[in-house]
Structure 1
Amino acid sequence: MAVRPPILHRLFPILTWLPQYKRAWLGADLNAGLTVGIMLIPQGMAYAMIAGLPPVYGLYASLVPQLIYVLTGTSRKLGMGPVAMDSLLVAAGLGALKLSGISEYIGMAIFLALFMGVLQVVLGLLKMGFLVRFLSKPVISGFTSAAAVIIGFSQLKHLLGTNVPGSNRFHLLLYQSFQHLDEIHGLTVLVGILSIGIILLFKRINSKWPASLIAVVLSILASIWLKLEEKGVRVVGEIPQGLPGFEIPTVPLDRLQDLLPIAITLALIAFMEAISVAKAIEEQDKTDELRPNQELIALGLSNVLGSFFQSYPTTGGFSRTAVNHQTGARSPLALFFSALVIGITLLFITDWFYALPNAILAAVIMVAVSGLIDVCYPVELYHKRKDEFILLLITFGITLFIGIKEGILLGVLFSLLLLVYRTSQPHIAVLGRIKGSPYFRNLDRFEEEAEATPGILMFRFDSELYFGNKDYFKQELYRLIQENPSPVKTVILNAKSVNYIDSTAVYTLRQILNDLHEKEITFLVAGAIGPTRDILFNSGLIKTIGDERIFSSTLDAYEYAVNQKGPSPLQKKISLQKKG
């Protein structure tokens, strides 16, 4: 039996892995940390622009959250910081509020990090990490692809040099872009297209190279040499130098209700994004260290403490984690070196980014989010699972044309409705005995091997029995009795797939049993698992059925129906075993 680690070690996993740290890992962690840190400089500033914030806030969000995750995270390779998805959610959520100016907007974005962080910590302490399971892959794929399209098109104004108003709806972005075609600045477009080309070229040459940073450096040099700002190309401008100061975020109390739905959405989406990429890396490494509830706490603390140092919402990012993994990171210490790069940048070299064209950051974003658009998975679903393909399309369409929050929330709702629909009409198999064997199989699948026995209806119900499908169960049972080739004298329910029976279904079963008794039809139950047997006893349904009609296997029930052969003492003990 595994020994449960002390509570301090569970809350601060660094106390577990740091004493086991090997000196040989230091070089790999240093290399990975420096690479990710260098990558974070242009990415962080670009993602801050998506969120509607000055670029420096992307650097602030790349500093403290990483350090906190080093102390509290359970993934060895998750790359913390600002991400495109959360940045878009921040912009979409705050953009819908009537804010007085950029100062209030920045204050709300920082408080949002505190708010979502507190929610994540509470969910983690309450062990609510299972909530992410309700985000099915079709919903995630549809939502992510649509969000990537919106993020990409939201950068058109920077790529074209126009003044297109921001929006989180694709059709409005497209319409407004067409409305401002006369404002297109040719030189800005050229700079942006060349930057996309440079990034893609260097990624193709070597995927481990910091292609975005190379494009940023080249564009800064070109901007200074060619004096692009004087020629109408918009640049980042002055970035405040120095580390972010400590300040507790505050907002008016009447704003909390406006921020609550945004904070809840961000808390769950950020967790989903981080846990999915961390699990993917863990599967590649064949490790099993990830603890979802602790990850919620780690992400929450990173956001809460990060907000005290002017960070807006952060989480684990896909691209940074992939680079961290590819460059050989061995422990969360790589994030410490990554944060060190950001700290040095803020302290000493922010002046270098003054001449950076906004079009470059737009190019960085467009290339980054293009990888989030998944075409292969929808095609696969179209050929194999039409219902889930439709769910993906619905989520994609809602996210694209109605809104980001609505897309994920309604996507989850529709996926749950699909689940309810499936369980309300589960699979039912009519069974027959395989000739010359003790096995019973679906007559539709084993037409030649299996045979039905006159007067006996055997069927398997592949779901729990509850209020949502009890009428379907009753309807299908009566239909099968009526359509049976010979008059039915015995019904055998193979209950091995029935793992629960709720009170409503118990009432319906009692009605069915009384009705069958009046029609002189014997009802037998075979293969009921322990939890189901407990319900039969606790509900008193065992008395209506009769304990002599409960069998441990379909063969036992069949022998009873055909030969009136009762079970052995051992078989009877197994079939009637209950808890306690």
Structure 2
Amino acid sequence: MLSWLQHYRRAMLPGDISAGIVVAMMMIPQGMAYALVAGLPPVAGIYASIVPPLLYALFGTSSTQSVGPMAITSLMVASALAPLALPGSALYGVLAAQLALLSGAVLLACGLLRIGFVANFFSRPVMSGFTIGSAILIAWGQVRPLLGGMPPAVHWPSAAMGLGALALLLWARSWMAGTLRRTGLSPVAADIGSKLAPMVVVIGATILVAAMGLDARGVATTGAVPAGLPGLNLATSSAHWQPLLQPALLVGFMVFLISMSGAQALALKRGEKLGSNRELVGLGAANIGSALSGGFPVTGSISRSAVNFAAGANSQLASIITAALLALALVAPTGWLALLPLPALAATIIVAVLGMLDLSLLHTAWRYDRADAAALLATAAGVLVLGVEAGVVVGVALSMGALIWRASRPHIAVLGRIAGSEHFRNVDRYSTETAPGLLMLRVDAGLFFGNVEAVNERIEDELKAHAGTRHLVLVLSAVNSIDTSALFGLGELNTSLSQRGVLLHLAEVKGPVMDRLKQSSLLQALNGRLFLSAAMAWDELAC
């Protein structure tokens, strides 16, 4: 804990202070907006932005990770709690904190048990599909507050403010940084300035509401925001532990994946090394802290972490400063926060999630691996049609199915020798020479119960295609393991070949595989020989 503090230098302080201020300015509108996405009062978003970063700074390993509310986790909260309680009700708030508590416990347990590798089962295409589907859902859910109602029952003052804010934010996203650079600002300062556009737009919209009395004309606002720091929240619902368990598992894994993806990218830029299990502990503690302070599940925000990095954050002290400033914002008079217009907040959410609609991975997967592209599209469609949890399950199931299908159909190459050398290559890809009566096959995968039958079938097909084979050499240079089922399969193949007068030889068996084979009877029963290399088998068997 606090290992970063042991190496802290005074020269790092200015960068941490500036980053802490900049991120705090982002967090106020973002936190309140994401609380609305989660179906909670806006102040819950600020509550979830104070204690969690403090605890992450204590346990986490990323110097630039900004922990707090995020669009995707907020949507997952809304999806998980909607069947259980009415959004905005007291029970809903209790369940949101309870979900954060369970998610934090899951993350903490995974970190202490050092099983962070489980998150690897969520492939990048599945994550991308989940992000795309979630972004579309979130954006669609903000159409009503953006326009003050669904078409055609639009509240025109609200729509004017919402669409105006949306246009300004889209302009800022695409062109504001370039405009600021042309005024003489450095690229880093210009980029940070463009990231603060939501804060400027929300403040401007709030001033308009106050000056023109738009709240009295029907423009929805956040309403009264209670002043003061969040108290200790110990409320739970004993009847809802079990219904919340499955969503908590999913939220916990998504929190870890989202946080790690952003933190790893930034760590690479600084040559830092992240500890995945310590990250799990830090994120678990952050979510437990959010639960105890009346918040909801939190994660490391990719966009805020990037701003934190660009603003000069040198250590976790930047997040501590951000949390302190947000606490001061609640201690100070909060009357102005009550006038924050929901159309402007909806515009900030829509623009934020539009940045998540990155289709480049889909384009790459479609050209490189259609199975991954199908998993991406199925996950996105599942999120849109079936809901967040079901969509992720569909995507993971498809990814695992594709993995099992590939593993059950390993590549097997017929080898020939490149003339004048000791190199052996696939006869379909290279100009090679073969020897009559000798068939050399390279199996390019581990042998296990799921593919041994397919391997034996392919071997039989090749024996039929190469009539007159007297020696079959299995080159096992790419085989890292042979399980018990595959061991029996090789034994049955050896027996079958013996009855047909074909000798079975093994070549280039890896050390760990050989160690296990020595514990079996296969080597003693083998009707052929073991060869150190394919070249030695060729020299001995080629006629």
Is the structural similarity TM-score above 0.5? Answer: yes
Aligned to 2:526: 545
Gaps of 5+ in 2: 178-190
Aligned counterparts of 1:100 and 1:136: Cα–Cα separation in 2:
32
User: What do residues 510-564 of structure 1 show as CA deviations (whole Å, max 9, x unaligned)?
Assistant: 1110111111111111111112112211222111226x7112211112222137x
Aligned counterparts of 1:255 and 1:113: Cα–Cα separation in 2:
13
Letter in 1 for 2:137: I
Aligned to 1:403: 387
Shift of 1:38: 0.7
Which of the numbers 193, 196, 207 marks the counterpart of 2:163?
A: 193
Residue 459 (str. 1) matches residue 449 (str. 2): no
Aligned to 1:270: 255
Aligned counterparts of 2:409 and 2:446: Cα–Cα separation in 1:
11
Aligned counterparts of 2:85 and 2:160: Cα–Cα separation in 1:
35
Asked whether the 8 Å contact 1:249–1:307 carries over to 2, the reply is no
Shift of 1:98: 4.6
Residue 120 (str. 1) matches residue 107 (str. 2): yes
Moved more, 131-140 or 537-546: 537-546
Partner-residue secondary structure (3-state), 2:413: strand
Q: TM-score, normalised by structure 2?
A: 0.95
Aligned to 2:92: 105
Shift of 1:153: 0.6
Residue 280 (str. 1) matches residue 265 (str. 2): yes
Aligned to 1:72: 59
Following superposition, which runs of at least 4 residues in structure 1 exceed 4 angstroms of deviation? 98-101
Aligned to 1:171: none
Residue 468 (str. 1) matches residue 438 (str. 2): no
Asked whether the 8 Å contact 1:114–1:249 carries over to 2, the reply is no
Shift of 1:101: 6.7
Aligned to 2:542: 562
Partner-residue secondary structure (3-state), 1:183: coil
Of all paired residues, the percent bearing the same amino acid is: 36
Partner-residue secondary structure (3-state), 2:442: strand
Aligned counterparts of 1:38 and 1:338: Cα–Cα separation in 2:
9
User: What do residues 156-205 of structure 1 show as CA deviations (whole Å, max 9, x unaligned)?
Assistant: 1101212xxxxxxxxxxxxxxxxx42421011111011111222333432
Partner-residue secondary structure (3-state), 1:538: coil
Partner-residue secondary structure (3-state), 2:445: coil
Residue 299 (str. 1) matches residue 262 (str. 2): no
Asked whether the 8 Å contact 2:97–2:297 carries over to 1, the reply is yes
Aligned counterparts of 1:311 and 1:50: Cα–Cα separation in 2:
13
Shift of 1:507: 1.1
Aligned counterparts of 2:60 and 2:88: Cα–Cα separation in 1:
36
Which of the numbers 366, 381, 403 marks the counterpart of 2:365?
A: 381
Aligned counterparts of 1:41 and 1:245: Cα–Cα separation in 2:
19
Aligned to 1:371: 355
Aligned counterparts of 1:220 and 1:489: Cα–Cα separation in 2:
86
Residue 49 (str. 1) matches residue 40 (str. 2): no
Which of the numbers 348, 360, 381 marks the counterpart of 2:332?
A: 348
Aligned to 1:19: 6
Aligned counterparts of 2:524 and 2:171: Cα–Cα separation in 1:
75
Q: TM-score, normalised by structure 1?
A: 0.89
User: What do residues 59-108 of structure 1 show as CA deviations (whole Å, max 9, x unaligned)?
Assistant: 00000001001111011111100111110000000002255970000000
Aligned to 1:251: 237
RMSD of equivalent CA atoms: 1.4
Partner-residue secondary structure (3-state), 1:426: coil
Shift of 1:284: 2.1
Partner-residue secondary structure (3-state), 1:492: strand
Gaps of 5+ in 1: 1-11, 163-179, 564-580
Shift of 1:424: 0.5
| Equivalent runs, 1:62-461 vs 2, <5 Å | 62-98=49-85, 102-162=89-149, 180-203=150-173, 204-206=175-177, 207-209=191-193, 210-252=196-238, 254-288=239-273, 290-446=274-430, 448=431, 450-461=432-443
Aligned to 1:567: none
Aligned counterparts of 2:418 and 2:56: Cα–Cα separation in 1:
58
Aligned to 2:182: none
Residue 59 (str. 1) matches residue 40 (str. 2): no
Aligned counterparts of 2:380 and 2:433: Cα–Cα separation in 1:
47
Partner-residue secondary structure (3-state), 2:18: helix
Letter in 2 for 1:187: P
Aligned to 2:463: 481
